[in-house]
Amino acid sequence: MFIDIDLGLILLCAVCGCSVGGFAPGNITCNAAVHQCRSLTKARCDSSGVAYRGGRPWPFSRPDQNSGVYFNSDTLEEIQIKTAGNDASVGVPGISMVAVIKSGGNAFHGLYSASAETPTLQSNNLDDRLRSQGLTAVQPVKTLRLCLRRTARHQLQQEALQTATFTWHDLNGDKLYQPGEVNLNLNGFDFVSVNGAIGNVMNPNLKQPLYSESATSYEHELAPSVGFNTSYVYRRSTDNYNIPGPNVARPLSAYNIRITRRDPGADGILGTADDGGSVTFFDYSPAYRGVAFVQNELQNSPLPNQFHTVEFTVTKRPTRRWQGSASFWMVKNHRWITSTFNAPQDYFFALDETWGWAGNFEVSYRLPFDLLVAANMQSKKGAMGQRTVLFRTVDPDGGTPISQLSTATIRMEPYGAEVGPPLNVLNFRGSKDIRVRGGKLGFGVDVFNALNSNAPNALLYASGPTYLYPTGVNGGILPARIARLTARFSF
Ligand SMILES: [Ca+2]
Ligand SMILES: [Ca+2]
């Protein structure tokens, strides 16, 4: 249970929507509009009753999942927030907000507000499948265990600036490291990789990525106070790069050791029904082993990303007691999952050619006695991804070991081959204001996630026991349905 009591700090119930389109569709995120009303003093919130994994309390798990921005609406005279249907004058995708800040005066004004959520106002949206994956609303669950087997490596850390990874030979089999079990020579036979400044080189010709956008929109009045808007946006980014960039000291031709392994399928276990075919990838020649052959250089990728977005919106201006809007957009992606290519396998399924979509629906109605009721629905395509397999050093079938790379994570299918259930979030709000001497008294009730959806925001795609498990804040799923009661007095 938590109770916020804010003196002069207002809970702003801005219904946040899905960020549309964008240069990085991986970041097309839906704030789910649930539990969006936060005070400036978020640290006072307790998280009991909220789903979480691994026994770790999430002190801020219930607030919005992406935004770190909190508005104090008491400072705003007027505000307009559009989650969709922006015309070409809005240069960036996503939410557009226009606000007029209050001007000062000699008269003293303020607002007192209190709101409450309790476990009795909260539902549980866990089902048997999620419970079997270790999610629970009331108690900590088993921690995901990382099993270190004999191929475990020893890490050497120097002043926390860089990390070298070596192959560890547990010569006496006691599962403990003793000096002499690893050749710590950075150019020696046990060297696997290095992270940090030691392996990075400057590229004086590096350019900043260039983002360009073309947009066009069309508006038409369908009826008095009802408008239709459609827009098309083309976005393109060039000269993209990923930190730390490709290793220029180890060319593509160095990857000349062919390794063929059997795909263990989604369960990560060989010899079961879901096994796939064989996959071939490459390890680099031992001649390129050692830190002398690590020179990561930021380089502009010649491969551009492109996005086409179309959007349709119908808006009803506030007349005859009601207002509302409905919008729908789709985006066609042409996005490189990585801009860094070293080994031939880095090109495997590296292009995201998916379609994304989302929709918003909002309506509010003013009943007699100044009772305001509102509903807001957001839908969004489910989490997308592609299955990967982590191939370890030793081939269970006795084939060539991955001697230099040590391990290889391989994308096994096109991006978007895995699509989670759509995210549908329905919220309701009712409020009533009463004029009293010296000010205005208001009462409100919100119901967030009325459908009690448990759709995941993100999933794990690594083949193995946790394949397609939800991951992230709140166990990776939408927070359960919850009601909030609010009272406020403004003067
Ligand atoms: Ca040992
Ligand atoms: Ca299998």
Could you tell me the distance, in angstroms and rounded to a whole number, from the CA of residue 266 to the centre of ligand 2?
6
Q: Residue 169, CB half-sphere, CA atoms under 13 Å: how many?
A: 9
Instruction: Please state, in angstroms and rounded to a whole number, the distance separating the CA atoms of residues 374 and 232.
Output: 29
Length of the chain: 491
Q: How many domains does the chain have?
A: 1
Of 265, 406, 259, the closest CA to residue 345 belongs to 259
Indicate the SS3 state at residue 229: strand
State what percent of residues in the chain have pLDDT above 70: 77
Q: Given this model, what pLDDT does residue 80 score?
A: 80
Could you tell me the distance, in angstroms and rounded to a whole number, from the CA of residue 263 to the centre of ligand 2?
8
**Near ion ligand 1, which residues have CB within 5 Å?**
170, 172, 174, 176, 178
Residues in contact with 261: Cβ distance below 8 Å, sequence separation at least 6, in sequence order: 278, 279, 281, 391, 395, 397, 399
Q: What is the mean pLDDT of the chain?
A: 78
Could you tell me the distance, in angstroms and rounded to a whole number, from the CA of residue 357 to the centre of ligand 1?
54
| Tokens 């916020």 sit on residue | 4
259's enclosing H/E stretch is strand 257-262
How does strand 96-101 pair with strand 76-82? antiparallel
| Tokens 């007349």 sit on residue | 319
Could you tell me the distance, in angstroms and rounded to a whole number, from the CA of residue 174 to the centre of ligand 1?
5
Could you tell me the distance, in angstroms and rounded to a whole number, from the CA of residue 143 to the centre of ligand 1?
27
Determine the residue type at 117.
E
Which has more confidence, 183 or 63? 183
Residue 227: which region, alpha, beta or left (left: phi > 0; alpha: psi -120 to 50)?
Answer: beta
Could you tell me the distance, in angstroms and rounded to a whole number, from the CA of residue 183 to the centre of ligand 1?
13
Residue 425 domain boundaries: 2-490
For residues 342 and 284, the answer to whether their CB atoms sit within 8 Å is: no
Checking if the pLDDT of 388 tops 70, the result is yes
Could you tell me the distance, in angstroms and rounded to a whole number, from the CA of residue 290 to the centre of ligand 1?
24
Ligand showing the shortest atom-to-Cα distance for residue 265: 2
Could you tell me the distance, in angstroms and rounded to a whole number, from the CA of residue 403 to the centre of ligand 1?
21
Of 43, 434, 91, 376, the closest CA to residue 231 belongs to 91
- Give the Cβ contact number of residue 184 at 10 Å: 13
Tell me the per-residue pLDDT of 346-382, one tens digit each, with 9 for 90 and over.
999 999 999 999 999 999 999 988 899 999 999 999 9
Max mean pLDDT among 105-119, 153-167, 198-212, 277-291 falls in 277-291
Checking if the pLDDT of 156 tops 70, the result is no
Could you tell me the distance, in angstroms and rounded to a whole number, from the CA of residue 465 to the centre of ligand 1?
29
Instruction: Please state, in angstroms and rounded to a whole number, the distance separating the CA atoms of residues 12 and 65.
Output: 16
- Give the Cβ contact number of residue 443 at 10 Å: 13
Q: Given this model, what pLDDT does residue 14 score?
A: 30
Could you tell me the distance, in angstroms and rounded to a whole number, from the CA of residue 154 to the centre of ligand 2?
29
Could you tell me the distance, in angstroms and rounded to a whole number, from the CA of residue 388 to the centre of ligand 2?
13
For residues 450 and 420, the answer to whether their CB atoms sit within 8 Å is: no
Tell me the per-residue pLDDT of 15-73, one tens digit each, with 9 for 90 and over.
232 222 222 222 222 222 223 223 222 222 233 333 333 433 333 333 333 444 556 66
| Cα–Cα distance list, 269 to 274, 405, 467 (Å) | 9, 22, 12
Rg (CA), the chain: 27
Instruction: Please state, in angstroms and rounded to a whole number, the distance separating the CA atoms of residues 309 and 92.
Output: 12
Could you tell me the distance, in angstroms and rounded to a whole number, from the CA of residue 394 to the centre of ligand 2?
17
Q: Residue 429, CB half-sphere, CA atoms under 13 Å: how many?
A: 23
Instruction: Please state, in angstroms and rounded to a whole number, the distance separating the CA atoms of residues 326 and 143.
Output: 42
Ligand showing the shortest atom-to-Cα distance for residue 269: 2
**393: which 2 tokens?**
């050093």
Could you tell me the distance, in angstroms and rounded to a whole number, from the CA of residue 133 to the centre of ligand 2?
19
**Strands of the sheet with 162-167, listed across from one edge:** 153-158, 162-167, 191-196
Instruction: Please state, in angstroms and rounded to a whole number, the distance separating the CA atoms of residues 74 and 62.
Output: 23
How does strand 355-367 pair with strand 322-336? antiparallel
Q: What is the mean pLDDT of residues 114-120?
A: 80
Tell me the per-residue pLDDT of 414-470, one tens digit each, with 9 for 90 and over.
999 999 999 999 999 999 999 998 889 999 999 999 999 999 989 999 999 999 999
Burial level of 86, CB count in 10 A (0-12/13-18/19+)?
A: buried
For residues 51 and 137, the answer to whether their CB atoms sit within 8 Å is: yes
Checking if the pLDDT of 5 tops 50, the result is no
Q: Given this model, what pLDDT does residue 69 score?
A: 55
* Lowest mean pLDDT across 59-63, 169-173, 471-475: 59-63
Indicate the SS3 state at residue 319: strand
